[in-house]
């Protein structure tokens, strides 16, 4: 019964988690929050992660009630993500693996989300909607690969929300998406925004440009409120996501949908997905912010599956990569 320690730091969250045979023993996390109107830059984010990662490691071990001797493998995020944060975390993972004399595993971040979602919800073979600040994909498993059925052709849906929040100077604490969700509840007017679905793919950059330009003018003339814009943006981009997820489910004959990634804890998105699933007699699976927002346990869990299947990452191959597609990994741990 191996215990796997996982390091995650591909964007503005840094997390260290411990997973042992399907149980999350610890999963502490810190978020790098920047002032309203600003985003997080790679260098600053990496500096934040370096400042707290050893405290988090200690916290994770204490919470799990384990010592270094009880850990069987060190997993870390190999990519995709921002270069500087990824590299900072990989250095620590490599160092810890050598100090403790443990095998190392480089994990695909997207697969971490999927495996965590499967573990927590018990979904067996779902069509996955992966939505976050850096990724937007509809994924289904087939023949030892997580295959991408549809995706964004420009920015991620979470990036669209984050940048919209910057335009309106909405707070980044605890996250821009959370604050947009709360404001959207008070929105009354649906503003028509560009709705861009191209086959199985989606595009969000035009919506953002539209908001930056037209919507700001509407705000200044009093034609709509910031709350109306939050509401309209959510309704529009979530409808696009539901549409491509449903099409993938119809294609695969799937009776399960799973939402993963940071945007996945948005209750309005879950509600819209639930409606779609009910209409086709399917089940929706989703998790809360502990597990759908980037965290260390998801890397530990994917690492646990890989470790059991015999994967190991040699030190000479223990680098990082900003681009690492979900379908590049051979999923040897599933039938």
What is the Cα–Cα distance from 51 to 244, expressed in whole angstroms? 40
β-bridge partners, 259: 129, 286
β-bridge partners, 198: 201
Q: How far is the CB of 184 from Mg ion (least distance, A)?
A: 22
> Between residues 151 and 294, which has the closer beta carbon with respect to Mg ion?
294
Q: How far is the CB of 141 from Mg ion (least distance, A)?
A: 18
Q: List residues binding Mg ion (CB under 5 A).
A: 132, 294
> Between residues 27 and 232, which has the closer beta carbon with respect to Mg ion?
27
Q: How far is the CB of 332 from Mg ion (least distance, A)?
A: 23
What is the Cα–Cα distance from 62 to 59, expressed in whole angstroms? 5
> Between residues 134 and 187, which has the closer beta carbon with respect to Mg ion?
134
What is the Cα–Cα distance from 242 to 165, expressed in whole angstroms? 22
- Nearest position to Mg ion, beta carbon: 132
> Between residues 8 and 235, which has the closer beta carbon with respect to Mg ion?
8
> Between residues 28 and 81, which has the closer beta carbon with respect to Mg ion?
81
146's enclosing H/E stretch is strand 145-151
Q: How far is the CB of 294 from Mg ion (least distance, A)?
A: 5
Residue 239 half-sphere exposure toward CB, CA atoms < 13 A: 11
Q: How far is the CB of 250 from Mg ion (least distance, A)?
A: 26
> Between residues 96 and 114, which has the closer beta carbon with respect to Mg ion?
114
What is the Cα–Cα distance from 160 to 241, expressed in whole angstroms? 13
DSSP annotation of 16 reads: E
Using CA atoms, how far residue 43 sits from 9, 88, 108, 132, 295, in Å, is 13, 10, 22, 21, 20
Q: How far is the CB of 5 from Mg ion (least distance, A)?
A: 19
Q: Which two tokens stand for residue 56?
A: 């988090």
């Amino acid at each position: 019964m191996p215990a796997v320690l996982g390091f995650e730091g591909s964007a503005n969250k840094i997390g260290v988690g411990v997973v042992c045979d399907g149980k999350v023993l610890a999963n502490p996390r810190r978020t790098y929050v920047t002032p309203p109107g600003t985003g997080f830059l790679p260098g600053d984010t990496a500096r934040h992660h370096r400042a707290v990662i050893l405290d988090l490691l200690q916290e994770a071990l204490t919470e799990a009630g384990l010592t270094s001797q009880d850990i069987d493998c060190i997993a870390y995020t190999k990519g995709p993500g921002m270069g500087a944060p990824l590299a900072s975390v990989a250095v620590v993972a490599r160092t810890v693996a050598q100090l403790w004399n443990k095998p190392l595993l480089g994990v695909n971040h997207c697969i971490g989300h999927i495996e965590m979602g499967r573990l927590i919800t018990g979904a067996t073979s779902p069509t996955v909607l992966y939505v976050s600040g850096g990724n937007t994909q509809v994924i289904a498993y087939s023949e030892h690969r997580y295959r991408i059925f549809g995706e964004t052709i420009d920015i991620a849906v979470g990036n669209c929300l984050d940048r919209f929040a910057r335009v309106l100077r909405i707070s980044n604490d605890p996250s821009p998406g959370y604050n947009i969700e709360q404001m959207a509840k008070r929105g009354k007017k649906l503003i028509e925004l560009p709705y861009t679905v191209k086959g199985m793919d989606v595009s969000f950059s035009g919506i953002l440009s539209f908001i930056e330009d037209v919507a700001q003018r509407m705000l200044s003339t009093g034609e709509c409120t910031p709350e109306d814009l939050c509401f309209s943006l959510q309704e529009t981009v979530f409808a696009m996501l539901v549409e491509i997820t449903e099409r993938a489910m119809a294609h695969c004959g799937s009776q399960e949908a799973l939402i993963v990634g940071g945007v996945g804890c948005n209750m309005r998105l879950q509600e819209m997905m639930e409606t779609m699933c009910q209409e086709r007699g399917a089940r929706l699976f989703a998790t809360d912010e502990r597990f759908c927002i980037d965290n260390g346990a998801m890397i530990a869990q994917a690492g646990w599956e890989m470790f059991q299947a015999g994967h190991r990452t040699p030190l000479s191959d223990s680098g990082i990569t900003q681009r690492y597609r979900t379908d590049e990994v051979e999923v040897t741990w599933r039938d």
